Structures are given as structure tokens and as C-alpha cells.
Structure 1
């Protein structure tokens, strides 16, 4: 049988309660768990601060008149502190008979009469409760009730806490604890006194430390119930400035600040009798955000759905208020959150339970005066104060998420590598809401430093990172691409400018004939202005053409980069397999086996060689060169180049191609790129389905039709939800996992199709089996057929 030393309690307290605010948080939760009728009050009664007393003790140590030192000390007591504490402090030091005695008695008085009281008007505790629950560390009573509530399907947990260690929070704040409590039926108060220093005896066992409750005096009123936790011999230097700062920041974020102020759990703080305000977040601050994302993760009939709303309100250039709604179902979430590697079980997508979130983004340089808040500086300070994406369970904070030093969504780390909009944590004000009953698998670590690492915790992180890092960032860039530095169609504009120039020249010629000599200078000025305008228009046209060319080259280079990556992957994989083969043959004399392995390696290298040949048209020169080629043969070559990959993933490719060549005049590299991106997407989603359905047989079907030349590409993978039919073609929109999430493939493929005057789209035919879209159509204009 285990025995526990007394000092283990001290070790538990120091390890499990890691900061003052967490200590207060635990004590506050206990008050609400006791069903307090009007909230929880934290009252600081500080006769003199530890720092101020130390200054006086330094003077006393230097000698001088003893009575003068006593008088100075009494004069230094805070007149706003309780009269009882001041009188007791004064009486204690007035009995001192020497300088050393005064020093000793002042230190004892500081420990005895500076206090923090956490009180509630809940159901209180009886003598039996103090003995059987409060003095039992890790008591199971609340946990049993929480588990019963979960089993019964209750929407709310009966308790915020359940581990039975919250009482150790008092140890963090002071060396001495007095509990004053009573239930309605009690006639008197029930008392419990604990001196934590007694547990420091390294030789004492826990059961050797005498701690027992006792009866106290009369209750404040016959029907009164509640509990006061009185902490003295304080371990920290408490001042009004420090407590006010904690109220402004820590206590303000202790309960959900997004809630209506009238609905938030009531927590009151007083310092020496003066009420300190705990600020609420003004709605005007959220209304001033420049972009935002909000949404819900729901479980409906055992299937998860993520719905989020993205809004661009003011990105620093002229644009309408843009809004986009994204919906991801089970199939999408398996691809985007779980991925191909299967590091998280699919079941975690359901067992995580429902939650909601919102995050408001600010360009801090563009924050300006807000009515009701103040000038720009005040607005920036307020935004910085509330910055961070906080996590709340049942309206109470889960630490340390959202703290200044915490980057739980890896926003800062990603921002350092991202061009364009910087989505770092100080630019967000946001919250995530979970609950004990709905999110049973999201459990606090015992030391209150975040959630325990579980598959469900991983899903929560991945979903939020996907929404905030990827989708909001992608959406903001999409709005910028659409409205800032928009492409200009110069065909009509150039004709109009030419007409205007001709009209102006004709008018100037007439003016020259009609203008008297004294007005010729003005006409010459007008003619010079026309010349400068014409020159400016020509330069503008040239620059716009350059910008468009740069944009095309960016797309081309991105496409080539993606293809080089694919080929590099194949080369690396073939090399690794070759090394494995050679390692397996060490010390063996098996020519037939050796021949077989080298045949495998030769086949793989042959496949890579085909991929490199297919890559050749994707070079910049190849992509810009129009040529006549057989579309039929190009499809065969592209499929042939993936032969080893298809075999490895057991993909059956069916081609329905015309017997006669179908000649087209086009940029061969761009058509190759479209096919490569479609194949790459298919392989990913076929794998996603194959790993989850053992009997599944992956298939790709490619057909080619003429008049106009049309390639139909279809697979039997997971398909695309109808809601995302157009979104998948947007730049940086991706439903792949984090390792493979780029979101450029289909965007580039559509750009390539449109370059030829054609179109690439996802056909709206619903697959009967999946209820989703599977068929991509590349339609080239009739004019490209040679």
C-alpha cells in the first residue's frame, strides 16, 4: 500500500497551479459550481504592501527613535484598507520594545492582516462536506456527477471542475487558509484552518498533519449559505496597480468577453473596499475589423460538417463587402484534415463533437478613430489588449490559448513565410467555444496548461488552422486579385484613345488657322499637352502589357514548379527503392533475384524518363509555342507517363479515344499541364477513398470528342461537393491535407484553358453513388482544331 508524504501536497500545488490567474480561476469556478446566487467576489485587504513595508524595515535597521518608526509605519498604512485590519496591525507593532522586535512584529502583522477573500453565495459546505470532500484531494464526487450527465445526454455539465484539486489554488496565493462556510440548514458557520507550511516537514507523512473542521459563530442571517476562502500570509506583493492591471487584462478574459455583458458570469473585484471594473469588449471594436471568419463544426446524424463564413470588409483598396461561405462534409474533411497518411483516425472527426469559432482580423496600420472608443492610438491599444484567439469551455477560459506568448494556431510561424497579408496572432481578436458535454474528448491537462494531446485535440487544431491560416488568407488574396490592379481590356480603350487623339489633332489644326498671332503660344501649349498625353497613353499600354506578361509568367513558373516537384518525387522514390533492393541483396548470391530487382528499377527509371519527356513542353519556351499536335496521342503519352504510379496505386485507367488522330493547334505544354493536374488530383482522392474502403477499385476514365475538341476526365474517388464546384478553381483553395495543400493546380489549369479561348469546368452531373460531382470537362474552341 502506498503512503504519501506531507510535502507531496506542496509539490502538487506548485505543479498543478502554475500562475496566480489560474489560482483565481480555479477558486472562481468552485464558486459557480457551488451554484452561487450572485456571482463570486474577490476582495483584497492590503494594509500595507510587502514592498512598502520593506522600505520601512530598512530605515528601522539603521536605528533612530523607535516611537517615530512606529508612527511612520502607522501613517503608511492604507487608509482605505479595512479598519479592523489597520487597528490590529497598529496594535501589534505598538507593543514592540526594540528595533528588532518592531521588525519581527511588523513582519508577523503583514502576514496576518493582509488577505485575499474569495466568496460566493452558493450552497455552502457542512462539517461532513469539509471532511469528506474538501479535505479529500481528487475527490470523485463531481466527476461522477459529470459522467452521469454525459451519459444522460445533458446539454450542460453540472460542474465546471471535476478533478478535486482546485482547493490547492489557495496554496499558490498564501501560506494560510481559512474556510468559512455554511449551508442553509446550518445554525452556525463551519470553519477550517490550514497552515500550508506544516506540510513542508520532509519527515512527516500526510496523515500526520492535523487538519480538521470546527464549528464557528453565528451565520450572517438564518437562511444564509455560501463559502468564503480567506487567504493570508500572502506570497506575492499585491498593490492596487497590480490588481487593477489584472482586472483590465486577465480577469477581463477569464469569462467569454464576446458575450453580452449582462449575461456573463458575474465576477467582482475590490481592493481595500474599492470596486475595480472588469472591462467588457466593445462591439464597436469587432465592427471595425477589416476581415473576419466565423463558423460552426457540427455533427449531424453521425457525420461532421464544417461551415465557415469569410468576409472582406476593408482590405485597404476599393472593393465591395465580399462574403464567401465554405461547407466541408465528411469526405472533404477526411481529405483536408486527416489526409493520406492517416495520422489521425477518421472517427476523431465525429468524437470531437460540435464547436463554434470566430476570428476578426485587423490591419493595425489602418485602424482609425472609432466613435465611443477614441482616437487612433486608443483604438490600436484596445485591439492589442483583446488580441489573440481565445478558447472557452462553457463560457470560461481554457489556458494558455490566446496568451501573448502562445501561438497555438501557429499564425506567427506561418506569417514569417507568407507573402502578402500577414495573419499573425496580434492581428486577430477571436474565440473558440467548446463545452464539457458536447466535447467529451477535449479535456484540460491537469496542470491547466492547455488540452491533453488526443486525436480530437489534433482535429480541433487542424480545423482552426485550415480555416484561419489557409481559407481566410486565400480569400483575402482572392479579393485583392479581383479588385486591386485589375486586368484592363485595352482593345476598346485603345480604339477610343486613338479616336480622341485624331479629333484633338483636327481641332488644333483648325485652331491654328483661326487663331491670331498673339494666341499662337496658347495653341502650341495645347498641342504640346496632346503630345504628352499620347506619349503617356502609349507608355501606360506598354506597362499594362508588361504586368499581364509578368502575371502569365508567374502562372507558368508555378505550373512548371509543380510538375518538377512531381518528377522529383518520382526520382527520389525510385532511388530509395533501388537502395532498399541493394540492401536486401547484401551478402546473398541470388542472380535471379538480383535480375528481378534490377528489372523493377529499370521499369521505374523508364517511367521517370517518360515523365521528364512530358515535362519538356512545360518549359517556358514550350508553353509559349503554339504548334499542331495530335490530342489523341498527347493523352496516351500523359497516361503512359504515369503507368508506374497507376500500377502502384492500383488505378485502372480507361480511355475512350477516337481511332483517327485529332489534330489541334495549341500550346502543347499548357494542355499537358491541365492533364497532369487532373491526374494528380485524382490520385490523391482515389487514395483517400481506397484507404477507407478495402473493396474499392480506383478508376479513371478519359474520353475525347471532336467538334469542338473536348476531353472528359472522370474518376470514382470522393468527388466534389456541389457547393465547391467553382471554389476548387480559385487560387490557393485546397481540400488536401497540410503536407500537400497548395491550391494552385486547378487554378493554373483553368487559366491555361482560357488562354486558348476554351474552358475547364466541373460538370454539374451528380454521381448517383456519392451524390457529388466527379466529371471534369476541358473544352477547346472549334478554331483550334487543325
Structure 2
């Protein structure tokens, strides 16, 4: 049988209660679990600061050495008492010190005076009987609440009877002070039940837990016959408490302890008092939320065992002229599998359901554009308020789950993403948001014992993945697309040049007329100055217009290069993957050669190696037309041959993945005059997407036969591409072509392939669309149509 030393309790308290606000949170939560009918009250009764006590101890030694009269030291000690302390405590402390007749007695009185300072946490809940104190409160890790919570969950209750269930809340008091006094009673009790604990007794290195005598006792009569409740009194405080420190905690920590998005009247009542002075816990102004520049709200739902993510995205004021833009996003089960788990993810598919439903909202602010808001104040006040409430917080049944949303916490990796982006950057300080979970709907999202986040479970990974996907992969591209639509529109340079020429002509005509106009001597100087000023203005305007034209041309060139290089980059990645796999297989075959010396096996291994190298050569040959120079060159080529080369290049890959590749060619070959590299890019990007989604289905359905089918048609030249993967949801038919939109899992999520493919199609005068004809069994779309104009046909 294990034996436990007394000091183990101290170690548990230090490890499990990681901060002061966590300690208060545990004590507050216990009060609400006791069904308090008027909230929780926390009173700081500070008659002597800890720092003052330590300073006076040091000063005492100096006073004794210098021969100073103890009366001077005693007067100095009295002056350190907190003048706004409760009057009875202040009188007791003063009397203790005034009764001292030596330095030693003053020091002893100071310690007693310091012990008068307490932190009290009170509730008017059900209270505890003497038996409850012995059998529950003094049992660390008591299972009583855990049993009731599990029973409620098993019965399908919509709420659980308790916020907490681990039975470690009483250790919170240990962090705050070395003495604990519990005064409690049930409505059926006649007297207050009292429990006193001095945690210093547990520090004895030789003491076993059973050696420490802790027993509840009967105290004074209750204030009223039916009164019930509990007061936790913490003494011998471990830290220095000041009004300023408590006020800071009230302003930030206590303000975010319960859901600040709730109406003030509906928030759980927590009252904080400093020496009888009420400190008001602030609430978040709805005016601040209404002035967000963009926002996303949504739910993650489970209906009949099938998950779906629903979001509403709004762009309200992104810093340039645009109407209010709203987009509805729906991510259904097949896409959630692809985006969060992928073909070979470490998260089980079932976690998409067992995570349970939850809701969220996130309000984004461009802090540079924050100004005065009626009802809040001027710009500085507004910016400070936004910073104060910044962060996306996690709440369970209206109470914080730490540390999500704290200043030091970046649980959605927003700051790390922002460092790698230009233009819009979504960092955590720009957001005010919340995620709402519950104990009944999300039983697998459980706090770590030390309250430093949720336990790492598949469900926790799903919650994290969904929120990162919403902010980083839905909201960010949505804002970029609004910018692209209304701010970064292409400029017609020919019109711009014409307009500039007209303006220059009009200005020159005005100058000539101004010069030819007669003027008296007294206005000649003014006329000359006006002409010179106009000439200078015209010169500056012309210079500005020239620079603007040059910059526009540079930007357009950069944009083209981005598309070209991004396309090449994607293909280089594919080739690199093939190269790595070929090298690995080559090494394996060479290892076989090294160990065995059989002619037949040597021949077989060499053939396998030759086959791998041949496959790689084909892949490199396909890549060649994708070079920047190749992508710009218009040439005549056969679509049939292009598809044959593509099939040969992917032969080994299709074989490994068990993919059937079918090409339906017309009777006559189709030859076209176009940029071959771009046509190759379109086909390769479609295949790349298919490989991911077919694998996603293959690993989950053992009887599934992955298939890619390409059909060629002429008049006009058309390529129809389809696969039998999970398909695309109809509501995403247009979104898949937008830059950065992707439903692949994080490591493969780029959102460039189809965007580049459509750009390539349009560059050649063609179109690339997702056919609206859905697969009847799934209601999803699986067919792409790449159509070129009849003018590119070569007869």
C-alpha cells in the first residue's frame, strides 16, 4: 500500500494551481456549484501589506544596530498600517503594536497584525454539514461530483449539476495563503461548521499525511434559522496585495472570467471589495463590437451523427470604398474530412462527431482605423478598450477555459501566420472573439488538471483545427477577395494614358491663353507667378502620372510572374515528391543487391531501379513546358499526345495508388495553337487535386476503386475532366477558383492550384468551370470543363 507524506499535498497545490486568477476561479466555481442565489463575493481585508512587513523586519535590524529607541520603530510600524482597512481590524492591529515594549515585541505584534489580513470568498449556496467537511471537503480528488456529472451525461441532460468535478478546488486556497478557515452550514444546521487548516504543518519533511490532525468542529449559531452558505477565509497571505493590484485583476482577469459578450444582467454575479470599497468589474460595450471592420460568426453542428461547419463572414470597412460584403460558408462532412484530417491524418474520423457542437464569433479590427465612437470616447480610449478585450477566448457554460485568449497565448497561431504575410495580417490583438462549448455537448473537451488548457485529445485537435481553419482559411481569403474586387481592380492603361493626354493638352492650352492675355504693370508680377506655379503643377502632375503608369505596369508584370512561378512551384513540389520516392526505392533495391548475389534477383532489382528512373525522367519531361519561357510560347501541339505524355508521367504514381486513368479520345486528333505549358498546368493541377481527394476516400472505403476520366471533344476544343472522389459541395462551386481557398488538410493547404488553372485557361482565351451537373448519389460536383475557343483549332 502506498503511503503519502504530508508535503505531497503542498506539491499538489503548487503544481495544480498555476496562478492567482486560477485559484480565485476554482473558489468562485465552487460557490456557483453550491447553487449560490446571489453570486460570489470576494473581500480583500488588508490591514498590513506583506511588503511592509518584510521592510519593517529589515528596518528593525538596522534600528537595533544603531541604538535607536524602539518607540521610533514602533511609530514607523504603526504608520505602515493600511488606513482604509476595516475599522475593527485597524483598531486590533494598532492595539497590538502599541502594546509592544521592545523591538522584539514590535516584530511579534507586526506578525500578528499581518495575520489579521485575509481574503474571504463567500457564497449563499447549499453549504456543507460537518459530515460534508469530513467526507468530501477533506478528501482530495473526491469522486462525489464526478459521479453526479457522469450520471447527468449518461441520462442526456442538457446541463450538468457542477462546473467542477476533480475535487481539487480546496487546494486553491493554499496558493493564496498559509492559513485556511472554512465557515459553512446547511439550511438544516443550527450552527456554523468550522474547519481550520494551517498549511505550514504539511511542510514537515518527516510527517505523513495521517499525522496532520485536521478535524471540523461546531461553531457559533447561524445568523438566521434558514441561512446556508460558505465563507472561505484565507490568512497568512502568500503575496503582497494592494488596491492597485486588485484593481488591475478586476479590470482584466475578473472581467474575462465570465463571458463578457453576455448582457451585463445575465452574467454570473461576482462582487470584489477592497477594504469595504466595491471595485466594479467592467463589461464589454456592444458599441465596440458594432464598430468592427470585419467579423465571422458560426456554428459547428452535429445532425444525426453528421458534422457541418456553418459561417457567416462580413466585410464592413476594410479601409477602402466597398459595400458591405457578406458570404455564407458551409463545410460539410466530406470537406471536413479533407480539411482537418486528410488521407493519413493522426486524428480519427470519429472525432469530427465526438467533439460535439459549439458556436463562435470573432470581430476583427484594423487598429489604425479605429477612431472616436459615440458612447465610448475618443480614439485613444477606443483603441485601449479594443486592446483590453482583444483575444479569442474559450468559454464553457459562460466561464473561462484558460489560457485561451490571454496576451501570451496564440492558440490559433495568428501571430505566426501574420509574420509570413503581407497586406492584411490577422494577428490575435486585432480580434475580439469567443468560442462557446459546454460540458454536456462537448464531454471530450476536458480541462487539464492544472487548468493550462484542454487535454490533448482528438476532439481538442478538431476544435483547434476548425477555429484555425475559420480564421486563417475562410476569413483571411474572404477579406483578400473583397480587396481584390474593389481595391485592386485592373486599370485600363490605354484609357488612363488617353485621359492623361487630354488633361495635359487642356493645361497647355490654358497656359498659352494665360500668357497671351494683356495685363497692366501692377498685375504682371502676379500673372507671372501664377503661370510659373501652374507650370510647376503641370510638371509635377506629368511626373506623377508617368510614375503611376510605370508602377501599374510593374505590378501587372509582378502579378503575371506570381502566377507563373506559383504554378512552377507546385509542379516542382510534385516532382520533388516523386524524386524522393524514387530515391528511397532505389536505395532499397541497392540494399537488396548488396545482401544477395543471385543473378535473377540482381536483374530484377536493376529493372525496378530502371523503371523508377524512367518514371522520374517522364515527370521532368512534363515539367519542361512549365518553365517560364515555355509557358509564354504559343505552339501547335496535339491534345491527344499531351494526355498520353501526362498518363505516362503519372503511370507509376497511379499504379501505387490503384487509380484507374481513362482517356476518351475522339476519332480524329485535336490539334490546337496555344501555350502548351499552361494547358499542361491545368491538367496537372486537376490531377493533383484528384490524387488528394481520391486518397482521402480510398483509405476509408476498402472496396473503392479510384478513377480519373478525361474526355476530349472538338468544335470547340474541350477537355472534360472528372473523378469519382467525394466531389465538391455546390455552394463551393465558385469559391474553389478563388485564391487561397482550399479544403485540404493544413500541410497541403495552399489554395492556388485551381486559381492558377483558371488564369491559364483565360490567358489562352478559354474557360475552366465546374460543371453544375451533380452526382445524383451525393449531390456533389465532380466534373470540370476546360473549353478553348474555336479559333485555336488547327485543321
Name the SS of the counterpart of 1:314 in structure 2.
Answer: coil
Name the SS of the counterpart of 2:161 in structure 1.
Answer: coil
User: How high is the TM-score relative to the length of structure 1?
Assistant: 0.95
For 1:67 and 1:550, locate their aligned partners in 2 and report how far apart those are by CA, in whole Å. 82
1:154 aligns with 2:157: yes
- Of residues 651, 660, 663, the one that matches 1:652 is 660
Task: Mark the CA change 1:529 to 1:109 in structure 2 (over 3 Å): closer, same or farther.
Answer: closer
- Larger deviation: 637-646 or 515-524? 515-524
Aligned twin of 1:458? 461
1:618 aligns with 2:618: no
Aligned twin of 1:198? 201
Aligned twin of 2:716? 708
1:437 aligns with 2:425: no
| Map 1:482-501 → 2, pairs under 5 A | 482-490=485-493
1:178 aligns with 2:186: no
Name the SS of the counterpart of 1:256 in structure 2.
Answer: coil
For 2:456 and 2:545, locate their aligned partners in 1 and report how far apart those are by CA, in whole Å. 62
Aligned twin of 1:55? 55
Aligned twin of 1:84? 88
Aligned twin of 2:380? 377
1:763 aligns with 2:771: yes
Tell me how far 1:678 sits from its aligned partner. 0.3
1:326 aligns with 2:329: yes
Name the SS of the counterpart of 1:253 in structure 2.
Answer: coil
For 2:425 and 2:507, locate their aligned partners in 1 and report how far apart those are by CA, in whole Å. 48
For 2:171 and 2:594, locate their aligned partners in 1 and report how far apart those are by CA, in whole Å. 62
Name the SS of the counterpart of 2:264 in structure 1.
Answer: coil
Aligned twin of 1:35? 35
- Of residues 629, 632, 637, the one that matches 1:629 is 637
1:556 aligns with 2:564: yes
Task: Mark the CA change 1:752 to 1:133 in structure 2 (over 3 Å): closer, same or farther.
Answer: same
Aligned twin of 1:19? 19
For 1:51 and 1:539, locate their aligned partners in 2 and report how far apart those are by CA, in whole Å. 65
For 1:270 and 1:510, locate their aligned partners in 2 and report how far apart those are by CA, in whole Å. 81
For 1:314 and 1:687, locate their aligned partners in 2 and report how far apart those are by CA, in whole Å. 41
For 2:752 and 2:655, locate their aligned partners in 1 and report how far apart those are by CA, in whole Å. 26
Aligned twin of 1:781? 789
- Larger deviation: 208-217 or 266-275? 208-217
For 1:172 and 1:399, locate their aligned partners in 2 and report how far apart those are by CA, in whole Å. 17
- Of residues 95, 98, 109, the one that matches 1:94 is 98
Q: Is the contact between residue 448 and residue 455 of structure 2 (CA under 8 Å) also seen in structure 1?
A: yes
Aligned twin of 1:114? 117
| Deviations 1:274-333 (CA, angstroms, capped at 9, x unpaired) | 001111111222223222222111111101101122222222222222222211111001
Name the SS of the counterpart of 1:739 in structure 2.
Answer: helix
For 1:535 and 1:255, locate their aligned partners in 2 and report how far apart those are by CA, in whole Å. 59
1:409 aligns with 2:412: yes
| Deviations 1:760-784 (CA, angstroms, capped at 9, x unpaired) | 0101111012220000000111221
For 1:166 and 1:500, locate their aligned partners in 2 and report how far apart those are by CA, in whole Å. 77
1:354 aligns with 2:357: yes
For 1:537 and 1:402, locate their aligned partners in 2 and report how far apart those are by CA, in whole Å. 47
Name the SS of the counterpart of 2:266 in structure 1.
Answer: coil
For 2:552 and 2:569, locate their aligned partners in 1 and report how far apart those are by CA, in whole Å. 25
Aligned twin of 1:142? 145
Task: Mark the CA change 1:11 to 1:667 in structure 2 (over 3 Å): closer, same or farther.
Answer: same
Task: Mark the CA change 1:639 to 1:498 in structure 2 (over 3 Å): closer, same or farther.
Answer: farther
For 2:518 and 2:327, locate their aligned partners in 1 and report how far apart those are by CA, in whole Å. 64
- Larger deviation: 3-12 or 262-271? 3-12
Aligned twin of 2:134? 131
For 1:209 and 1:530, locate their aligned partners in 2 and report how far apart those are by CA, in whole Å. 93
For 1:534 and 1:216, locate their aligned partners in 2 and report how far apart those are by CA, in whole Å. 92
For 2:515 and 2:672, locate their aligned partners in 1 and report how far apart those are by CA, in whole Å. 58
- Larger deviation: 642-651 or 199-208? 199-208
Aligned twin of 2:705? 697
Q: Is the contact between residue 511 and residue 531 of structure 2 (CA under 8 Å) also seen in structure 1?
A: no
Aligned twin of 1:671? 679
Name the SS of the counterpart of 2:373 in structure 1.
Answer: coil
- Larger deviation: 747-756 or 578-587? 578-587
Name the SS of the counterpart of 1:773 in structure 2.
Answer: coil
Q: Is the contact between residue 592 and residue 605 of structure 2 (CA under 8 Å) also seen in structure 1?
A: no
| Deviations 1:678-721 (CA, angstroms, capped at 9, x unpaired) | 00000100000000000000001100111111110000001000
For 1:671 and 1:354, locate their aligned partners in 2 and report how far apart those are by CA, in whole Å. 44
In structure 2, stretches of 5+ residues that fail to align are none
Q: Is the contact between residue 508 and residue 523 of structure 1 (CA under 8 Å) also seen in structure 2?
A: no
Aligned twin of 2:286? 283
Task: Mark the CA change 1:78 to 1:643 in structure 2 (over 3 Å): closer, same or farther.
Answer: same
Aligned twin of 1:273? 276
| Deviations 1:544-590 (CA, angstroms, capped at 9, x unpaired) | 34432321121111111111111111111101111122223432112
For 2:326 and 2:194, locate their aligned partners in 1 and report how far apart those are by CA, in whole Å. 59
1:368 aligns with 2:366: no
Tell me how far 1:511 sits from its aligned partner. 7.5
Q: Is the contact between residue 391 and residue 398 of structure 1 (CA under 8 Å) also seen in structure 2?
A: yes
| Deviations 1:470-501 (CA, angstroms, capped at 9, x unpaired) | 22222222222222231023456666777888
For 1:523 and 1:652, locate their aligned partners in 2 and report how far apart those are by CA, in whole Å. 78
Aligned twin of 1:253? 256
Tell me how far 1:376 sits from its aligned partner. 2.2
User: How high is the TM-score relative to the length of structure 2?
Assistant: 0.94
| Map 1:228-247 → 2, pairs under 5 A | 228-247=231-250
Q: Is the contact between residue 511 and residue 523 of structure 1 (CA under 8 Å) also seen in structure 2?
A: no
Q: Is the contact between residue 411 and residue 424 of structure 1 (CA under 8 Å) also seen in structure 2?
A: yes
Task: Mark the CA change 1:584 to 1:463 in structure 2 (over 3 Å): closer, same or farther.
Answer: farther
- Larger deviation: 35-44 or 418-427? 418-427
Tell me how far 1:534 sits from its aligned partner. 8.1
Name the SS of the counterpart of 2:740 in structure 1.
Answer: coil
Q: Is the contact between residue 629 and residue 664 of structure 1 (CA under 8 Å) also seen in structure 2?
A: yes
Tell me how far 1:503 sits from its aligned partner. 9.3
Aligned twin of 2:3? 3
Tell me how far 1:675 sits from its aligned partner. 0.4
Task: Mark the CA change 1:101 to 1:783 in structure 2 (over 3 Å): closer, same or farther.
Answer: same
| Deviations 1:49-74 (CA, angstroms, capped at 9, x unpaired) | 11223334444430433344434433
For 1:753 and 1:307, locate their aligned partners in 2 and report how far apart those are by CA, in whole Å. 32
Name the SS of the counterpart of 1:307 in structure 2.
Answer: strand
Aligned twin of 2:603? 595
- Larger deviation: 563-572 or 223-232? 563-572
Task: Mark the CA change 1:82 to 1:535 in structure 2 (over 3 Å): closer, same or farther.
Answer: closer
Task: Mark the CA change 1:56 to 1:342 in structure 2 (over 3 Å): closer, same or farther.
Answer: closer
For 2:78 and 2:346, locate their aligned partners in 1 and report how far apart those are by CA, in whole Å. 66
Task: Mark the CA change 1:203 to 1:658 in structure 2 (over 3 Å): closer, same or farther.
Answer: same
Task: Mark the CA change 1:150 to 1:191 in structure 2 (over 3 Å): closer, same or farther.
Answer: same
For 1:95 and 1:5, locate their aligned partners in 2 and report how far apart those are by CA, in whole Å. 41
Q: Is the contact between residue 718 and residue 788 of structure 2 (CA under 8 Å) also seen in structure 1?
A: yes
Task: Mark the CA change 1:503 to 1:166 in structure 2 (over 3 Å): closer, same or farther.
Answer: closer
| Map 1:527-606 → 2, pairs under 5 A | 541=549, 543-606=551-614
Tell me how far 1:528 sits from its aligned partner. 11
Tell me how far 1:242 sits from its aligned partner. 0.8
Aligned twin of 1:399? 402
Task: Mark the CA change 1:588 to 1:133 in structure 2 (over 3 Å): closer, same or farther.
Answer: same
Tell me how far 1:460 sits from its aligned partner. 1.0
For 2:790 and 2:778, locate their aligned partners in 1 and report how far apart those are by CA, in whole Å. 33
Tell me how far 1:202 sits from its aligned partner. 1.9
For 1:272 and 1:684, locate their aligned partners in 2 and report how far apart those are by CA, in whole Å. 64
Aligned twin of 1:308? 311
Name the SS of the counterpart of 2:29 in structure 1.
Answer: helix
Task: Mark the CA change 1:6 to 1:534 in structure 2 (over 3 Å): closer, same or farther.
Answer: closer
| Deviations 1:389-429 (CA, angstroms, capped at 9, x unpaired) | 21111111111112222222222222222232222222222
In structure 1, stretches of 5+ residues that fail to align are none
